[in-house]
Structure 1
Amino acid sequence: MDSDEILPEPRVVEENLDEKYPNRPRNSSSTLPFHELYLNLFHPLSQIKKKPATTAPSRRKVGPHNKSATQLSPYELRRDVIARFISRWRKEVGNDIYPAFRLILPDKDRDRPMYGMKEKVIGKMLVKIMKINKESEDGYNLLNWKLPGQSSTRMAGDFAGRCYDVLSKRPMRTEPGDMSIEEVNEKLDKLAATSKEDEQIPILAEFYRRMNPEELMWLIRIILRQMKVGASERTMFHMWHPDAENLYTVSSSLRRVCWELYDPNIRLEAANRGITLMQCFQPQLAQFQMHSFDKMIMRMQPTEEDPVFWIEEKLDGERMQLHMAPDDTIAGGRRFAFWSRKAKEYTYLYGEGIYDDKGALTRHLKDAFVDGVQSLILDGEMVTWDPEQDAPVAFGTLKTAALAEQRNPFTTGPRPMFRVFDILYLNGEDLTKYTLRDRRNALKVIRPVHRRFEIHPYQEATTTAEIEACLRNVVAEASEGLVLKNPRSQYRLNERHDDWMKVKPEYMTEFGESLDLVVVGGYYGQGHRGGHLGSFLCGLRVDDPKSSQPMKCWSFCKVGGGFTAADYQEIRHHTDGKWMKWDPKKPPTDFIELSGGDAQNERPDMWIKPSDSVVVCVKAASVGVSDMFRMGQTLRFPRSKKLRKDKNWKSALSIQEFLDLKSNVEQEHQEKEFNIDNSRRKRVKRTVKKPLTIAGYDEKDNAQYIGPSGRIFDQLNFFIMTDASVPEKKSKGELEQLVKANGGKIYQTNTAAPNTICIAERRTVKVASLLKSANSNIVKPSWLIDCVKQNEKDAGLPDLILPFEPRHMFFIMEDRDEEININVDPFNDSYARDTHVDELKEILNQMEITQQQNNNPLDPHTLHKVESHIQTKIDSGYTAPCGWLFRGLRFFFCSQAPQASGQETSHKTQVEDAALCLARNTARFASAHIATSLKDPDVTHIIVNTNTLSREDIASLRGSLAARPGNKIPHLVSMDWAQESWKNGTLLDEERFSVSR
């Protein structure tokens, strides 16, 4: 999903809790103080985590049938601490422990939305609240919490611990605070309800005033939902009630667990142990892949009577559960609800009713169910489907596609599609106890809606050969993988079980065995790796083509797994004293190149010269496209296999060696697939030698004239995958002949030659595979034909190849849109190609539509969002745009002093001053507000032209300022202040330009 996409706020539902929970418990007293949580729960649990062999903080009597305090295991010690806290709560507060559990298990609280605050944001706010200099040691430690402190490495990698280190030096109070648990919850609700920094800072500031440093440390962990107390939610649930975990599994509701199971002697009724309509549950998950297919099949317990297992394609989307219930209060009589695997509700996005105008999916489900279906729960995957390619696209585009579908339900672009693979509830009956085969039969109640709401297909199989065949198709289509399922199994809530098993194409195993990469950067770790480099940036060697000597390294992947303690020690020993801090203003481009230009993607905390570094052998699942690394490709799931002490950077893998190795591996897999497929065919003895096949030649193609001959494609390489249908029909062979006749070279793969141009206009297996890898633009054949025709028109002129235009592109790689769009004007009119009549009509029509749209002014809400975004960037250290320089200031331009009568300078007189007029226009461009009267109470600066004012005029002006009501006296400065500020791109000190008598 798009990480920085602005989402609409979820629908707020006012629910009567007394009506929904008539038997909810009531506390007899106010909640405990917040500090009791860390004194009697968090801190003792943390101590057990650090020192599991110490004495127990228990008050139980030690007798012949009880273990002594020193004999208790860490697990028993933790249970004892939790039991004592719960017992005290029941005794002193009451049976409603929900307020406390919201703080003890913040990651399980679905009633409170995410705060939208991570470590960096909280660090910046604390710096402002405590008024710490960013460049000071404490400011540095907060804003660079993963890095070792300037004076010590204590708390590095632990943000909350680093905050405690800084807060304890300047506490507002040293004794525990007076805030209650209930009051903390109220403040956190307000904090989660806003994303504006100016509203969040006062809330954090109040916490700072009323809590001591240790309380604040635990509060920050609650906000980050990273408690790390050493006790799992399973233990917490079990100590509250024996059925608590089961209820949370089927409801994902911490509120229900606390309010329905407040008495441990009353067990959960059988009717409440299963899933509930309109209540999110924790779904079944697929087990990870075993070592062999045979072993995986045996785990599914096949029998001679029923040896079948099912194979499904693993989809690249978001796991989603759909609930539908009858509701006469909503148009259409049906209410829908959607939840993700993480129990996040997406009903606001996909729709709550058939006639929901904002329903990206439900508005298409009017006829999606057979008559008689009143209620159901479906389990499936929400994917993004591209109608033009008739194929799924990347998972990260799902929310963008859903929002586009909300705006226009008939869009021809990508849209969300729900693929159903299970039904768990139907017309009031829980189906989880039925077998998968029976549940699949129940899916007959669904009427699929083409490319919007479909049943996910499966294939029955009995042998490993059938898995291998499906896996080959997965590799060809560049799909996610497979899921093997046991059709005899029941649905297991919140479990990974052998009844469902994932199979991913580890087709780069041979590849990963021999990737010897150079370590060129390091990243500080968290937790037990805090203060030390925990992961490393690895690069490929760039050789000098003239001397074959290494020059530098290109960033290629980030490796953090697979290293042993001995490996880390060996790396530290070999590189000690050679690491340097990465300076974004002066990146070491002579040694290392990152991607993203000034963005410096995957920028490390520290860097090292390749000649001073070590070589690590890296193993990975596959190679994929990535613009986050300079190579343009990276390893998926890389992990260290071993350190190559026998190699230095000159003998590590180079870019060309990597490309050759990749090409060879892909060729081997193609040959292997070809051999396996042919092994099943009946062999026929050949009596005639197979004729030599020439690329682009087909006896059936009668292409006498394929276009003018020339050199427009000279030194260009092409991989043509389909024929052409527009602007004229040409077969694949004719297109290849056209390219060769004009100097180009034809290859049958996009990796056989550098900078190969891929040509296609429809989706085939090869095209789908290339689209999935997304490592190359795909150009339509119309570009070839346009190039030839344009040069035919320009006969006599030098051969020129046309630049790519948006209309020429079948697929554009990420972040490459701009270089394509610059070749046409805003109305898609080409700068380099002659336009025909139909195109001209389309351009003129688009101009008319654009003009109508531009007549609508920017609404204030959008303008406020843009301003907030720019201000956030400025606060993060970005240079302010020139049009932002005087934002928030109000200027009055004065060319003559006020008259004795107090009459203000006329606007006409001001305009006649040419120099002052120029300064005024510059100020307007830089977002300053221009006042028309000196009496304006909001004026911040009075700007004068000292060449037109005498000393008496200035004295009179100062007298007028001194007589202004209130304490807000504006700066009186010369025009030079505005002009010099503009030239330097920053607000200069007004005292340097103050107008004296």
Structure 2
Amino acid sequence: MAQSQQELISLPSISSTCADRARYPDRPYNHGETFFFHELLEDLFNPLNENKKKPTGPAAKRGPAKSNKLTPHEARRNIIQKFISRWRKEVGNDIHPALRLIVPEKDGARAMYGLKEKAIGKLLVKLLNISPNSDDGYGLINWKLPGQAAPTKMAGDFAGRCYDVLSKRSMRQGYGDMRVDEVNDLLDRLSHTQEEKHQLPIFQKLYNRMNAKELMWLIRIILRQMKIGASEKTILNLWHPNGEALFEISSDLRKVCWELTDPTVLLDGDQTGVTIMQCFQPQLAQFQMHDFQTMIDKLGVTSDNNEYWIEEKLDGERMQMHMIEDDSVPGGRRFRFWSRKAKDYTYLYGSSFEDDNSALTRHIKDAFDPRVTSIILDGEMITWDPETNKIVAFGTLKSAALSEQRNPFQGTGIRPLFRVFDCLYLNDKNITQYPLWERRNALEGAVKNVHQRLEIHHYQTANSADAIDPALRKVIEEASEGLVLKNPQSIYQLNSRNDNWMKVKPEYMTDFGESLDCVVIGGYYGSGHRGGGLSSFLCGLRVDENHMAPGTNPMKCWSFCKVGGGLRAGDYAEIKHHTSGKWKDWDRTNPPSQAEFVELAGGDRQHEKPDVWIKPCDSVVLEIKAASVGASDQFRTGFTLRFPRFKKYRTDKDWKSALSLSEFVALRSRVEKEAGKNKEFKVDSKRRITKRLKKEILIAGNDNKVKTPYAGPKTKLFDGLSFCVMSEMIHPYKKSKAQIEQAIKENGGAIFQSATAKEGIICIGDKRVVKVASLMKSGLASVVKPIWVFDALKQAEVDGFDRQRLLLPYEPSHMFHMTEELRESVEGNVDDYHDSYARDVTPDELKRILDDMIHPKNYEFSANAFLSQLEERGHGLGELPGSLFSRCVARFVSLKTSNSETDSDFLIAKNRFLFAGGVEATEDNEEIVTHFVVQNESAEMMRVLREELAARRGRLPRIVRLKWIQDSWSEKTLLDEERYAVTI
């Protein structure tokens, strides 16, 4: 391990040509024809899809089919294993043709098609010879939009819309006769053409030989959006025990299939390391939520080994460069470049010193020591501006590289710059097991800086946590992304995110970010479970007098940011309720009526153009949290928010009181001045909690004062509404008719004794008394249970009284009787398990809901490993919560009860918290707890909680109900804790 830099450089090399010949000496060849394409559907896709819908908790155990004892997890493995066994028997040991179609997003050997949903929609319109303005044609091209041609259930599901259209015009009713090999050949041809005139004949052949179901799955393969309920890890490990391990270090599906043919022959250690000219999954920096001293402790800095390194975190694209001697290429050196997600960028940055299409390699002929015969470098590809000597925003990297390809020696334009921070392979030797300081010595001996083309990334040594603050302050002043702390004694761990590398970014720190009130001016339709509705919103700033040109509409707004994170279903429902019927389709021709109210960046290019827009006077105001503000040419204001997240809906504000351009400029100036002051940076791991005092009230009929939960002030929640209470309340507790009427009147409602006394009256009843039965028989009105009144009052207090005028929508459990006209609307206010989108359910309701929910079962699951995989895959999060709670350290405060089901509910929520990246408090991390999560709000629970808090020192964490975890999990976004705060 202590081998010197000179020895590393002088290690002998082998001929790359010989290596290529020997790469797959035992490549398998199949003895039979590949399966028909429809057999993938029948034997794999459809069974896995159906299995995905099965419950995994107690509901599964209570299923009627006693003969089927397999859990969904076991059934999934059984389906895949059966398919693999049949393939080995009937086809052979080369499963690569099938896997290219089963997990197409992992097939690095096939180029991207350059086809998105809209482009495929246009191809199908031409193929089917239908008008783009017809219902079906319009639905294909505008697949996210709901409408008559595409019902809401199909909106956002492009493949589903294609099936709907193709099934009416299919060339075949039964399955087609195309085999897997034939499909792969056509897809290879499709990936090598970017012109419609060549793409259309390929689609024509597929259309002629497949039915609508096959074409639907083929479109999912082209879009690389399979979602069949099984990951590549499961499939590869069932093919071979080393399948996933080899894929992690190679990112090569073909390598896995061709080298791992016999499941009884396992790889040794030397075969699972980095290999020249073979992409691998890089090591990543760990997220942190601790104070600086805790970070240093976790890095392993001790009195005996007290040095660590600080590097600037670069805003670019993680890149690995492979170089090997090869006399067959001009210049004698052959290159390959791969991104973190295993995308091959050799076409862009160059394959040799003499590559005419190179944006980089032609400029770095002097970068390597003559003794270097092969090398793998790990670094960041950034965009550099020679005129300002600064890094340019990451989004410009590809355009800068393409410009450099066309004008390689212009000298002054922005260009790609490769900043190298690690060397992993040198002269045919894998050096990942060497400590970082030795790898750095090898790097500095093997590579020389080429100004503004390829440079070794600078680092500074430090011995204490005190060095982080000034370094972070410096990068913030330079608008950089943050810092990376590294342990110089650490080895390089492939596909790992561990404590040897830690990143510190401004958005993790306190004193950054403001809550801003912005006007919604546009909307974007979603896909998946948000299909058919607006999933994110374009927000703008008011153009005030200081920025208004003569003759400008005083209601005009400039585009400022997009927000979609943090919104729960109830928030979407509220926004929809207040803006329904006021949205207009965005017209790219930009007629005057549209331009008068909304102005985008980019002129005619219309950056970030929404699907629909709305006049500010008809719109709503959202309060948005942000980590920081950065320059952006994608928004008309010239800047935008980094990591914007919805906080709350401002019912107390209209567009006139929302943030203006001048107000924002002043606010930004103030924040920048404060950021420049000598304030200590602290990681945002502890948040202030606001306590609310309880009141003691006197219960009628008692001589003594009885402490009860604070009932809250009287509100105007029911102001303007008329009620007719026709019976007492029976469920879930008893209330007299007089008590119900008193609750309504105290909160602004008007009481009438006749259901027909006024138009629009709300009829309340919980028993089939004469009045209720008569109303139900007439079919003229619905009857609402009294519990809705008290649920509405309770939720108004939970949500904050600035939102009190937003009435709780009716749910099926609130209705004693429903008219058919109201039924669809009411049923849409709960999910499939009858869990409310807009209110907090009671423990009894929660118990009933969880009885039918999917419960986590596999407790051997490694949350950390899974989160690392999610980070590697970026957009592969899909419907999963991912790392929702990755910055949270929670103490769970509970009482053992006699009700095992209640304890089970608590355990489920806790396991979901841990699964989604949360950390449970222990003695080691007690000082950095961010949340107290309580099981219920009983008197005994409050006593235990007060004892816990009394023993703590320093600032208090957030105290939230268990519902915060459950709702964040359900909504797949981290919700604002203020809605779930517990008062003690």
Which residue of structure 2 aligns with residue 562 of structure 1? 566
Paired residue secondary structure (2:235): helix
Which residue of structure 2 aligns with residue 808 of structure 1? none
RMSD: 3.2
Deviations 1:642-665 (A, max 9, x none): 222332323222222111111111
Q: Which amino acid aligns with 1:362?
A: T
| Alpha carbons of structure 1 residues 145 and 323: separation in structure 2 relative to 1, 3 Å | same
Which residue of structure 2 aligns with residue 77 of structure 1? 75
Deviations 1:163-193 (A, max 9, x none): 1111112211121111000110111111111
Which residue of structure 2 aligns with residue 493 of structure 1? 494
Correspondence for 1:132 among 130, 137, 141: 130
Query: Is the 2:338–2:345 Cα contact (8 Å) retained in structure 1?
Result: yes
Paired residue secondary structure (1:171): coil
Query: Is the 1:289–1:504 Cα contact (8 Å) retained in structure 2?
Result: no
For structure 1, which segment, 48-57 or 329-338, has the greater mean C-alpha deviation from structure 2 after superposition? 48-57
Deviations 1:656-698 (A, max 9, x none): 211111111112122337999xxxxxxxxxxxxxxxxxxxxxx
1:635 aligned onto 2:641: yes
Correspondence for 1:606 among 612, 634, 643: 612
| Alpha carbons of structure 1 residues 333 and 302: separation in structure 2 relative to 1, 3 Å | same
Which residue of structure 1 aligns with residue 346 of structure 2? 347
| Alpha carbons of structure 1 residues 626 and 15: separation in structure 2 relative to 1, 3 Å | farther
- Displacement after TM superposition at 1:357 (Å): 5.2
Give me the whole-angstrom Cα distance separating, in 2, the residues matched to 1:56 and 1:202.
49
- Displacement after TM superposition at 1:549 (Å): 12
Which residue of structure 1 aligns with residue 325 of structure 2? 326
Query: Is the 2:469–2:680 Cα contact (8 Å) retained in structure 1?
Result: no
- Displacement after TM superposition at 1:209 (Å): 1.4
For structure 1, which segment, 325-334 or 618-627, has the greater mean C-alpha deviation from structure 2 after superposition? 325-334
Which residue of structure 1 aligns with residue 514 of structure 2? 513
Query: Is the 2:556–2:596 Cα contact (8 Å) retained in structure 1?
Result: yes
Paired residue secondary structure (1:501): strand
Query: Is the 2:310–2:460 Cα contact (8 Å) retained in structure 1?
Result: yes
For structure 1, which segment, 593-602 or 38-47, has the greater mean C-alpha deviation from structure 2 after superposition? 593-602
Which residue of structure 1 aligns with residue 9 of structure 2? none
Which residue of structure 1 aligns with residue 41 of structure 2? 38
- Displacement after TM superposition at 1:287 (Å): 2.5
1:626 aligned onto 2:627: no
Q: Which amino acid aligns with 1:606?
A: V
Which residue of structure 2 aligns with residue 391 of structure 1? 390
| Alpha carbons of structure 1 residues 658 and 361: separation in structure 2 relative to 1, 3 Å | closer
Which residue of structure 1 aligns with residue 143 of structure 2? 145
Q: Which amino acid aligns with 2:96?
A: Y
Which residue of structure 2 aligns with residue 551 of structure 1? 555
**Mind listing any 5+ residue stretches in structure 1 that lack a counterpart?**
1-12, 677-997
Q: 1:519-918 to 2 correspondence within 5 Å? A: 519-543=520-544, 551-585=555-589, 586=591, 587-672=593-678
Which residue of structure 2 aligns with residue 480 of structure 1? 481
Which residue of structure 1 aligns with residue 454 of structure 2? 453
- Displacement after TM superposition at 1:528 (Å): 0.5
| TM-score normalised to structure 2 length | 0.63
- Displacement after TM superposition at 1:68 (Å): 6.9
Paired residue secondary structure (1:432): coil
Which residue of structure 2 aligns with residue 422 of structure 1? 422
Which residue of structure 2 aligns with residue 874 of structure 1? none
Deviations 1:902-932 (A, max 9, x none): xxxxxxxxxxxxxxxxxxxxxxxxxxxxxxx
Give me the whole-angstrom Cα distance separating, in 1, the residues matched to 2:634 and 2:264.
56
Give me the whole-angstrom Cα distance separating, in 2, the residues matched to 1:130 and 1:538.
39
- Displacement after TM superposition at 1:588 (Å): 2.8
| Alpha carbons of structure 1 residues 267 and 371: separation in structure 2 relative to 1, 3 Å | same
- Displacement after TM superposition at 1:485 (Å): 1.6
Q: Which amino acid aligns with 2:45?
A: F
Paired residue secondary structure (1:672): coil
- The number of aligned residues is 657
Q: Which amino acid aligns with 1:419?
A: R
| Alpha carbons of structure 1 residues 508 and 641: separation in structure 2 relative to 1, 3 Å | farther
- Displacement after TM superposition at 1:364 (Å): 4.5
Query: Is the 1:148–1:156 Cα contact (8 Å) retained in structure 2?
Result: yes
Which residue of structure 2 aligns with residue 843 of structure 1? none
Which residue of structure 1 aligns with residue 284 of structure 2? 285
Give me the whole-angstrom Cα distance separating, in 1, the residues matched to 2:272 and 2:544.
65
Query: Is the 2:537–2:562 Cα contact (8 Å) retained in structure 1?
Result: yes
Give me the whole-angstrom Cα distance separating, in 1, the residues matched to 2:439 and 2:630.
37
| Alpha carbons of structure 1 residues 363 and 525: separation in structure 2 relative to 1, 3 Å | closer
Give me the whole-angstrom Cα distance separating, in 2, the residues matched to 1:673 and 1:510.
9
Give me the whole-angstrom Cα distance separating, in 2, the residues matched to 1:295 and 1:507.
15
- Displacement after TM superposition at 1:331 (Å): 4.9
Correspondence for 2:86 among 76, 88, 98: 88
Deviations 1:753-785 (A, max 9, x none): xxxxxxxxxxxxxxxxxxxxxxxxxxxxxxxxx
Paired residue secondary structure (1:551): coil
Deviations 1:94-153 (A, max 9, x none): 111010001011111111111111111100010011111111111111011011132521
Deviations 1:380-419 (A, max 9, x none): 1223333333333343444454455556665422443322
Q: Which amino acid aligns with 1:416?
A: P
- Displacement after TM superposition at 1:308 (Å): 2.6
Q: Which amino acid aligns with 1:179?
A: M
Paired residue secondary structure (1:202): helix
Q: Which amino acid aligns with 2:657?
A: S
Give me the whole-angstrom Cα distance separating, in 2, the residues matched to 1:577 and 1:363.
58
| Alpha carbons of structure 1 residues 115 and 454: separation in structure 2 relative to 1, 3 Å | same
Give me the whole-angstrom Cα distance separating, in 2, the residues matched to 1:455 and 1:16.
29
Which residue of structure 2 aligns with residue 106 of structure 1? 104
| TM-score normalised to structure 1 length | 0.62
Query: Is the 1:307–1:462 Cα contact (8 Å) retained in structure 2?
Result: yes
Paired residue secondary structure (2:523): strand
Query: Is the 1:48–1:54 Cα contact (8 Å) retained in structure 2?
Result: no
For structure 1, which segment, 593-602 or 629-638, has the greater mean C-alpha deviation from structure 2 after superposition? 593-602
| Alpha carbons of structure 1 residues 302 and 248: separation in structure 2 relative to 1, 3 Å | same
Give me the whole-angstrom Cα distance separating, in 2, the residues matched to 1:116 and 1:407.
21
Give me the whole-angstrom Cα distance separating, in 1, the residues matched to 2:402 and 2:56.
55
Give me the whole-angstrom Cα distance separating, in 1, the residues matched to 2:455 and 2:198.
45
Q: Which amino acid aligns with 2:114?
A: G
Q: Which amino acid aligns with 1:413?
A: T
| Alpha carbons of structure 1 residues 407 and 657: separation in structure 2 relative to 1, 3 Å | closer
Query: Is the 1:419–1:456 Cα contact (8 Å) retained in structure 2?
Result: yes
| Alpha carbons of structure 1 residues 356 and 558: separation in structure 2 relative to 1, 3 Å | closer
Which residue of structure 2 aligns with residue 177 of structure 1? 176
Give me the whole-angstrom Cα distance separating, in 2, the residues matched to 1:661 and 1:112.
49
Give me the whole-angstrom Cα distance separating, in 2, the residues matched to 1:597 and 1:333.
47
For structure 1, which segment, 447-456 or 29-38, has the greater mean C-alpha deviation from structure 2 after superposition? 447-456
Query: Is the 1:324–1:337 Cα contact (8 Å) retained in structure 2?
Result: yes
Deviations 1:937-995 (A, max 9, x none): xxxxxxxxxxxxxxxxxxxxxxxxxxxxxxxxxxxxxxxxxxxxxxxxxxxxxxxxxxx
Query: Is the 2:553–2:597 Cα contact (8 Å) retained in structure 1?
Result: no
Which residue of structure 1 aligns with residue 121 of structure 2? 123
Give me the whole-angstrom Cα distance separating, in 1, the residues matched to 2:176 and 2:330.
52
- Displacement after TM superposition at 1:503 (Å): 1.9
Paired residue secondary structure (2:485): strand
For structure 1, which segment, 118-127 or 499-508, has the greater mean C-alpha deviation from structure 2 after superposition? 499-508
- Displacement after TM superposition at 1:566 (Å): 2.0
- Displacement after TM superposition at 1:51 (Å): 2.9
Paired residue secondary structure (1:588): helix
Q: Return the index of the structure with the highest Cα Rg.
A: 1
Paired residue secondary structure (2:543): strand
Q: Which amino acid aligns with 1:567?
A: D
Query: Is the 2:514–2:627 Cα contact (8 Å) retained in structure 1?
Result: no
Higher relative contact order (CA 8 A, sep 6+): 2
